[in-house]
Amino acid sequence: AQSVTQPDIHITVSEGASLELRCNYSYGATPYLFWYVQSPGQGLQLLLKYFSGDTLVQGIKGFEAEFKRSQSSFNLRKPSVHWSDAAEYFCAVVFTGGGNKLTFGTGTQLKVEL
């Protein structure tokens, strides 16, 4: 079955430390891949996306993500976290043939310690 997994429910990092949020998908082909961020009480904002080509993609707010076909992964990274990055992060995919329908992971809540 097609699915998206974010194995880390909560992550705590110190301000200035590096960050990696994990995302894996289960699918026979390469889906379209997205990372969204949700600040408290807000809607979702797109951080970055991957469709094809260069497997390292840059997004907004200093985030990047790397697609690894062999691992069916699309992990989100940031070299130095800021306190304002505290939020919930969602990995989402559109499985080809599924129209525009986004399938979301369960989310990772990021806490930043000052």
Partner 1 sequence: NAGVTQTPKFQVLKTGQSMTLQCAQDMNHEYMSWYRQDPGMGLRLIHYSVGAGITDQGEVPNGYNVSRSTTEDFPLRLLSAAPSQTSVYFCASSYGGTSGGARDIQYFGAGTRLSVL
Q: Is 51 in the site for partner 1 (CB under 8 A)?
A: yes
Q: Which residue lies nearer to partner 1 by CB, 9 or 114?
A: 9
Q: Is 98 in the site for partner 1 (CB under 8 A)?
A: yes
Q: Is 26 in the site for partner 1 (CB under 8 A)?
A: no
Q: Single out the segment in contact with partner 1 by CB under 8 A; choices: 4-12, 21-29, 57-65, 73-81.
A: 4-12
Q: Single out the segment in contact with partner 1 by CB under 8 A; choices: 16-24, 34-42, 62-70, 76-84.
A: 34-42
Q: Single out the segment in contact with partner 1 by CB under 8 A; choices: 1-9, 21-29, 54-62, 65-73.
A: 1-9
Q: Is 11 in the site for partner 1 (CB under 8 A)?
A: no
* Cα–Cα distance for residue pair 96/108, rounded to 1 Å: 25
Kindly compute the dihedral angle of the four CA atoms of residues 2, 48, 100, 110, in this order, to the nearest 10 degrees: 60
In Å, what is the CA distance from 28 to each residue of 33, 72, 97, 100?
A: 14, 10, 12, 18
Residues 22-57: b if buried by 16+ CB within 10 A, e if exposed:
bbbbebeebbbbbbbbeeeeeebeebbbbeeeeeeb
Among residues 11, 13, 15, which one has the least CA distance to residue 114?
15
Q: Given the rule CB under 8 A, which residues bind partner 1? A: 4, 6, 9, 32, 36, 41-46, 49, 51, 90, 92, 94, 96, 98-107
